[in-house]
Structures are given as structure tokens and as C-alpha cells.
Chains A and B, each alone.
Chain A
């Protein structure tokens, strides 16, 4: 699979990265080099092999149950409780009025 500069710009857009011209060039080269290596996965026949998203769906679960019910241990009652202290959290904000995060204009006309 060949990645072009157009692909890099499209992906950078999806990823919200404003790459410099130099970064774009480097990225075309690096992505192609990495994808070349990744292509070897196509050597494997994976028909009928189920995909695995995580390793933890077999341990500590209730095997007598089905589906999400197996993970009852990971559930809690839907009740609100104390969260992080607002003042502490807002201290990390680049710009705020103490209650809201301030950002540049969202809607442009």
C-alpha cells in the first residue's frame, strides 16, 4: 500500500495535527516504511479466526452467565457521588473563568 502526500494530509486532518511541510515529507516516508513491514500480516490466513480486542474477558468473570452479565464484578450502582474538586481541576486550564474552559470562537460566520 502506497501512502501519498494527499493521504498524509487527509490523515493529519482526521488526527487534528497541523504538520509542517518538512513533517509531511518525513511522514510519507516513515508511514510507507512502517506499512511495508505491517503488510506481512497478509501472509496469514485468518478466515474464521475471531478478532481479539482485549485479553481480560476470560479471567475473574462469571462463566455461568452470558455476554455482559459475565462482568457483573466490574459494575456498580448508577448513583452519583463526589468527583474531582472543580477548583483544583480548573487550575490546569490554559484559559478559564473558573467555571468554564475558554477557547477561541467555535462558530465562525
Chain B
């Protein structure tokens, strides 16, 4: 069975037409995972029983001639920061090894209710903190396009699984770029929805005002399909917005001629690697040929996005990770003789280095005497960044930038320099801070065959325009 040609759209059609059967399809994916994943490391947990059980249910419906749910039999992967009832959820951390979730993440449940089959939970940077998937508490993920390189992070496992055809599509999470950057590094599509577009219920929290769930897919159409199913108000998440969900599948077919695209000069300065620059500029030219008007713009506070992000995200993380204390779930240090020792040792022994670094930084910037200078200051800069985008969107409908400053770097290259690693997020963090949606689509390869991604950012709740433009571009690029 050729799994590489399967998209969500193709798989659901084939199963609905009975030209593909759900159980053999799931088995084929598990065979692929068994043969290819040992060298990639995309999966932490496989849910074979559950997946085959659901596949059999779909088969029964199909055999009876019943109508099938819209994503019936489509095999997907879920980043291990999203919980599933009865399945291990580790968030890529040893502190949650063996934790079995008592409830379901809304976004995952919506896909399962639509008939999709979860093959397993994918590897990620611990608590979604990282840009290379080297911070996983278990083992790093290798980029399927070059095994000596990182897949990006923190949704490295999800991106690698899709790129290596070990899942048709996947869910990832994005707090500072963790869907878009690994999608760019692995040569697949990654969509960051508007904050509040998709419920965060069941997403193990890193930074609550910045976390997003979104799809990682092979095509833009697949991203539109998955978004349609996961988006929408959820009573269990009070930050999920009460905004109607358009039919994204219909929206992506609409014409792009006349759309105004902003190209911000701050995203094309030094630090942007040569081949990436060429590939992205090529993409912009293609979009121009499609009838879009290219408008030079400025997002003047861009250089302050990384420091703003690392104050706000770490502050929120220090608060969210306080719950891992060895009391109710997760790792408890065997050496603790008092309650205080239990808290302190369980956390120090259970968390990895990057997580501890961020908890420390977050605690520091919130502590008495520093709160105004750091946290409040960063929140004010967040407003300035938002104003940059509001002003830009008065002139343009979408903004086009590179997704990352370079293609995938080598494993081990940046682990010793936290600031260098943080600077890899330079083009992605602002969208999370401002809450706008963004998509990364492949736009070419480096001379050595490493994927390069182009990012398109849109207005709040205007995923329709993003997807429309990305779809038109993808169609034009792959038609050549």
C-alpha cells in the first residue's frame, strides 16, 4: 500500500468509496511505524488496541452500508501534550511517565467523533518547551529528510510522522512557533489558528495566553478540513471564542486575485540565511503572478518579540507547572522524607534542564521587585506588537515572511546556547503574542535538499484568507 500518496482528503474518499478498508489501512501504518520509526523517534506511545477497535467499528458501519462519519478511517497522530482518556500522556516529560489521562482533549475528541483514528501520541520537546525536539525527556526526534538534523520543535514528532508517512495528518501545539517551524523543517504544512479558534481543553498547559492547538498536514486542503472539525466554541474552555466557523473547504477554492500581501522588511534583514531568503522571495513572486498585490510594510517592534515572549511564556509556565508536585499524579521522588523535600526533589528530578531554566526565569520575572520591570513591561510591549499588526492589516490582507531563519540545523548544534536556540523562533513568536493565525507551507528546498517554509499571517479569525492564499500558492508551485 503506498502510504505516501495518502492525504486526509484522499483517505476519507477512498474509505467512503470502499476502495480502502479501515483495518488494513491502520495495520499498514503500524507496519510502517515499526520499520521506520526506530530511526526517527516520532512516536512515544502507540494506541494499537484502540485504533484497531475504532477501525473495526468503521468497517462494521461500512459493511452495513451505513453513512460514514466525515473523517472515517483517517489515521492521525496526536502530540503527547494533548490527553486521551485511558492513554498515557507524558507531555514529553519523565515527570508524567505512566500518567494515564482520565479525560479527553476536546480537539482530539472532535476528530475521533468524526471518525478519525489516532495511531499514537507523538514525541515533543518537554512541556512543549523547545525548537528542536531535543528537549524531549525520552529521546530526540530525527528529521526524516536528513536524519542527522532536527525536525524542529516542539511538535517535532507530529511533523516527522506526517513527513515520513507514518500518519496521514497530525495535531500539534504552538506557543511560540511549535507547529509552524517543525512543519517548515520537515517540508509539510502547519497551521496556527487564531487564539481561541480551537479549544485548549485537554492541552497540557505551557503558557495559557499563548498556547494553541493546530493541524500538521501534507496539504493546505487537509489543514482546512481538520480545522473545520476542531474549531469552534467549547464550554469547557472559557477562552475559546464564540465566533462562527466558516466552511474552510469551500473558502479555500475562492480566488486570490487582488489580495494585498504585506512583506515586512524586519523579517528580511541579516540573520536570514541566503537560500531561505531566495526560496521565500520566489514564493512571493509566485503569489504576485497569481494576482496578489505585494506591499512593502514595516512591523517596527519585531526585534522585541523574542524577549517579550520569553518573559510572558516563562512566567505563565512557572505558574502552570506548579501543579507537578508529586502529590496527585506523576513522579514522586523516593528520597523525600518531608513534604518540602517531596515537592523540591520530585520537581528537580522529574523535570529536564530546559524546563527548569524556564521555570526559574518565569519565577524570577514574576517575583517581588521584578514584576513591573519584566512581566508588566513585556505585557506593554505585547500591546505595541499588536498595534504593529493592526496598522499593517489596515493596508494589507495577509503578511508573508519566512517561517524560520534557516533550514533544519544539526542535532546538538544549539543545545549549549539557550539564547541561540530561542532566536530560531524570531519569525514565529509574534503571531502567538498577538493571537493572529499563521500557516507555514513548503516553498522549496536548500541545495542539500532541506525543506524551506514560507509563512503567511492573517487577521484574527481570518483563517479563510490564509488558507485560500496558501492553497492557491501550493497548487501553483506543485503544478510546475
A binding-site residues for B, Cβ under 8 Å? 3, 7-8, 11-12, 14-20, 23, 26-27, 30-31, 33-35, 37-44, 46, 49-56, 58-61, 71, 73-74, 76, 84-85, 88-89, 91-95, 101, 103-106, 108
Whether a CB of chain A sits under 8 angstroms from the CB of B414 is no
B338 touches A105 (CB 8 A): yes
Instruction: State the CA gap A51–B37 with chains docked (Å).
Output: 45
B241 touches A60 (CB 8 A): yes
B329 touches A92 (CB 8 A): yes
Instruction: State the CA gap A16–B348 with chains docked (Å).
Output: 8
Whether a CB of chain A sits under 8 angstroms from the CB of B60 is no
Instruction: State the CA gap A54–B209 with chains docked (Å).
Output: 5
Instruction: State the CA gap A55–B383 with chains docked (Å).
Output: 9
**Contact check: which of B103, B209, B243, B374 meets A38 at CB < 8 Å?**
B374
B304 touches A53 (CB 8 A): no
| Given A3-B364, A23-B348: 15 more A-B contacts, CB < 8 Å | A15-B363, A17-B359, A27-B360, A33-B419, A37-B306, A37-B307, A38-B365, A40-B303, A43-B304, A46-B380, A60-B196, A74-B242, A91-B100, A95-B332, A108-B338
The chain B residue with its CB closest to the CB of A26 is B353
Given A27-B360, A95-B332: A37 and B419 within 8 A (CB)?
Answer: yes
Instruction: State the CA gap A15–B322 with chains docked (Å).
Output: 8
**Contact check: which of B304, B339, B351, B435 meets A41 at CB < 8 Å?**
B304
Point out the residues of chain B lying under 8 angstroms from A15, CB to CB: 318, 347, 359-360, 363
Instruction: State the CA gap A40–B379 with chains docked (Å).
Output: 14
B345 touches A18 (CB 8 A): yes
A56 touches B360 (CB 8 A): no
Nearest-neighbour CB distance to chain A for B195, whole angstroms, equals: 5
Most A-side CB within 10 Å, residue of B233, B339, B364, B365: B364
Point out the residues of chain B lying under 8 angstroms from A49, CB to CB: 380-381, 383-384
A17 touches B377 (CB 8 A): no
Whether a CB of chain A sits under 8 angstroms from the CB of B310 is yes
Interface string of B243-276 (1 = CB under 8 A from A): 1000000000000000000000000000000000
The chain B residue with its CB closest to the CB of A27 is B360
**Contact check: which of A23, A52, A101, A108 meets B379 at CB < 8 Å?**
A52
The chain A residue with its CB closest to the CB of B333 is A18
Whether a CB of chain A sits under 8 angstroms from the CB of B391 is no
Whether a CB of chain A sits under 8 angstroms from the CB of B410 is no
Given A3-B364, A50-B380: A38 and B339 within 8 A (CB)?
Answer: no
B419 touches A34 (CB 8 A): yes
Point out the residues of chain A lying under 8 angstroms from B239, CB to CB: 54, 56, 74
Nearest-neighbour CB distance to chain A for B131, whole angstroms, equals: 15
Point out the residues of chain A lying under 8 angstroms from B307, CB to CB: 37-41
B460 touches A59 (CB 8 A): yes
Point out the residues of chain B lying under 8 angstroms from A85, CB to CB: 102
The chain B residue with its CB closest to the CB of A91 is B100
Whether a CB of chain A sits under 8 angstroms from the CB of B235 is yes
Question: Could you write out 26 A-B pairs with CB less than 8 Å apart?
Answer: A11-B364, A16-B322, A17-B347, A19-B356, A23-B353, A34-B310, A34-B357, A34-B419, A35-B364, A37-B310, A38-B311, A41-B308, A41-B381, A44-B381, A51-B382, A52-B380, A60-B243, A73-B233, A74-B238, A76-B235, A84-B103, A92-B328, A93-B328, A95-B332, A103-B339, A104-B341
A56 touches B241 (CB 8 A): yes
Whether a CB of chain A sits under 8 angstroms from the CB of B463 is no
Whether a CB of chain A sits under 8 angstroms from the CB of B367 is yes
Point out the residues of chain B lying under 8 angstroms from A94, CB to CB: 326-327, 329-332
Interface string of B122-160 (1 = CB under 8 A from A): 000000000000000000000000000000000000000
The chain B residue with its CB closest to the CB of A59 is B241
Whether a CB of chain A sits under 8 angstroms from the CB of B342 is yes
B196 touches A59 (CB 8 A): yes
B100 touches A92 (CB 8 A): yes
Instruction: State the CA gap A1–B54 with chains docked (Å).
Output: 56
**Contact check: which of A18, A27, A76 meets B341 at CB < 8 Å?**
A18
Point out the residues of chain A lying under 8 angstroms from B329, CB to CB: 92-94
Interface string of B202-244 (1 = CB under 8 A from A): 0000000100000000000000000000000101001101110
Given A20-B348, A41-B307: A55 and B419 within 8 A (CB)?
Answer: no
Point out the residues of chain B lying under 8 angstroms from A91, CB to CB: 100
Point out the residues of chain B lying under 8 angstroms from A105, CB to CB: 338-339
Whether a CB of chain A sits under 8 angstroms from the CB of B378 is yes
